[in-house]
Amino acid sequence: MQKIPKQFQIFGNTIQVEMRENLYEEAECHGRWSPRKNLIEIQGPTPTHAVAQDFLLATFWHEVVHAIAECCNLNKLNNNEKHVELIGQAIAQVLKTKTGSHG
């Protein structure tokens, strides 16, 4: 099973990942990329609201696509939520369904 990391690197930038209990109430979103902080925040489960692992992973990968676009100065992509969502969903599906390995 995939797990959401606490941090990772893109081009030498360390990106922190925080699970939050009140992100949706605060910002009305399930995930948020903050380039000035090198931080991805994800709305996690709360005592009164369960969140499916697949949804958490899709949200995480959506925000990773934003981070990659920012680091690569791909402003058109970064500002296109539909394309960011499609790429994030595709990455999540590849990682969820991969089997075996070569070499």
Give the pLDDT confidence of 70-92 residue by residue, as tens digits.
999 999 999 999 999 999 999 99
Q: How confident is the model at residue 1 (pLDDT cuts 50, 70, 90)?
A: low
Q: Residue 19 pairs with which residues in a beta bridge?
A: 42
Q: pLDDT (tens digit, 9 = 90+) per residue, 32-82?
A: 999 999 999 999 988 888 889 999 999 999 999 999 999 999 999 999 999
The answer to whether residues 60 and 68 touch, using CB atoms and an 8 Å cutoff, is no
Which pTM was predicted?
A: 0.91
CA neighbor of 61 nearest in space, from 36, 86, 34, 39: 86
3-state secondary structure of 83: helix
Q: What angle do CA 65, 86, 71 make, to 5 degrees?
A: 15
Q: Is residue 40 within 8 Å of 16, Cβ to Cβ? A: yes
Residue 43 has which token pair?
């709305």
Q: Which alpha helices (H) appear in 50-97, and where do they start and end?
A: 53-71, 75-78, 81-97
